[in-house]
């Protein structure tokens, strides 16, 4: 992929946050317009920010998880790409991107459920959260991200 092509995709990190039982964290987005859709934490990488820092920041903003409750287990080596459906292109992220290119992390959460705080950030993204079996993740996400979730689950399967 050329740098011009890469520039069309928002740089992003995604996190499969798992508890001691190997279940994955999912949150229901506050702005969810498609019914009962859940997603794992994810977010953009700020200019000049390294991937690990972006991942920890996103987890803190979206889940309230503190670094001392997190153990980074693995990062998939390749970027995963998805494109937004046509009806969303030009509407998200100021119309600058056609999709996202994501680096995915597997992170163990060592805190208690009471340490999750969806209101930790001034602009919460999730209104509910729960732990689920990783195999269920692809069916819980919006359809245009399902292939990414299948790849993530398969990529981390042996580490769960």
Q: Which residues of 33-43 are buried (b: 16+ CB within 10 A; e: fewer)?
A: eeeebbbbbbb
Tens digits of per-residue pLDDT, 118-158? 999 899 999 999 999 999 999 999 999 999 999 999 999 99
Query: How is 15-57 classified by DSSP, letter by letter?
Result: EEEE-TTSPEEEEEETT--SSS-EE--EEEPPTT--HHHHHHH
Global pTM value: 0.92
Tens digits of per-residue pLDDT, 40-96? 999 999 999 999 999 999 999 999 999 999 999 999 999 999 988 877 777 666 677
Class of 3-159 in CATH: alpha beta
């Amino acid at each position: 992929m050329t740098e011009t092509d890469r520039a069309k995709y928002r740089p992003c990190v995604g996190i499969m946050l798992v508890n001691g039982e190997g279940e994955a964290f999912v949150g229901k987005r506050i702005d969810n317009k498609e019914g009962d859709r859940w997603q794992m934490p994810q977010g953009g990488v700020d200019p000049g920010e390294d991937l690990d820092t972006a991942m920890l920041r996103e987890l803190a903003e979206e889940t309230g998880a503190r670094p001392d409750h997190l153990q980074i287990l693995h990062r998939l080596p390749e970027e995963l790409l998805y494109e937004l459906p046509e009806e969303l292109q030009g509407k998200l992220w100021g119309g600058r991107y056609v999709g996202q290119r994501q680096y995915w992390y597997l992170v163990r959460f060592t805190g208690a459920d009471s340490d999750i705080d969806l209101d930790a950030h001034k602009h919460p993204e999730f209104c509910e959260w729960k732990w689920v079996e990783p195999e269920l993740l692809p069916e819980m996400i919006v359809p245009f991200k399902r292939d990414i979730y299948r790849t993530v689950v398969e990529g981390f399967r042996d580490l769960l």
